[in-house]
Amino acid sequence: GHVTDFAGKKLVNLAKVGVELEDGGKKAKKITELRNKKYETMTGWVKELLGDKVTKVQLTPRRTSEPLILTSPQHGVSANMYRIMKGQTLGEKSTDSSQVKRVLEVNHLHPLIDEVFKRVQVDPKDETAEQILLSLYDIAALQSGFEVADTTAFSRRVGRLLRTSVDISADAGNINEDVSEFEAQIAEEEAEQQESDDKKAEEGEKTEAGAAEGADNEEL
């Protein structure tokens, strides 16, 4: 069977939900309760946005620098086990990644999550908040070993976020190229080439004239 404890300590699977790193007593539990209440509007908004992609959204108890962490239910299939199952069945439908239950843990201390929280408080339909959260979710999926269902949508969202981060319109198309500088350069090169050709032709004519004059002198 599986090893469940070591040196008197219970082992915990960090890929599963329900990790408790410390017990600070009644006060700490009360703080956790009040914290969850403060952010329940945002966690509910995240669950509604992601829909069936996750079974539950909650604040993470982990000390992490990541904005989001994807875990599996205690008795669910982990990302690693999913990869093993998929490899064994050669990608049959029975191992469709959408069937793997996921729990999303949110790091409320991360600046991006804090920004999402503030935006959602003002406007639950904030498009920027949605784009940030969806991008962070896909990143979390990749980091946890899950698949990104729609890689095209993911790449487009990241592209839009990168554009707005440098004050470029999210919907901006390709810029209009001004080729006049290249045309001027081509014209200059062509003029130089023509001048060189004319000079060579002139030198050639002088050489021929000199040769003809030399031949006339010899006949005399």
User: Which pLDDT band, with edges at 50, 70 and 90, does 11 fall under?
Assistant: very low
What's the pLDDT score for residue 92? 54
- Give me the chain's average pLDDT, please: 81
pLDDT at 188: 94
Record the pTM.
0.66
pLDDT band for 175, please (50, 70, 90 cuts): confident
**What is residue 14's predicted lDDT score, i.e. its pLDDT?**
47
Report the pLDDT averaged over residues 48-54: 94
Alpha carbon 79 to its chain centroid, in Å, reads 20
The single-letter code of the amino acid at 208 is: E
Under the banding of pLDDT at 50, 70 and 90, the label for residue 12 is very low
Torsion-angle region of residue 76: left (phi > 0), alpha (psi -120 to 50) or beta?
Answer: beta
Rounded average pLDDT over 18-30: 71
For residue 98, the model assigns a pLDDT of 54
pLDDT value at 179 more than 80: yes
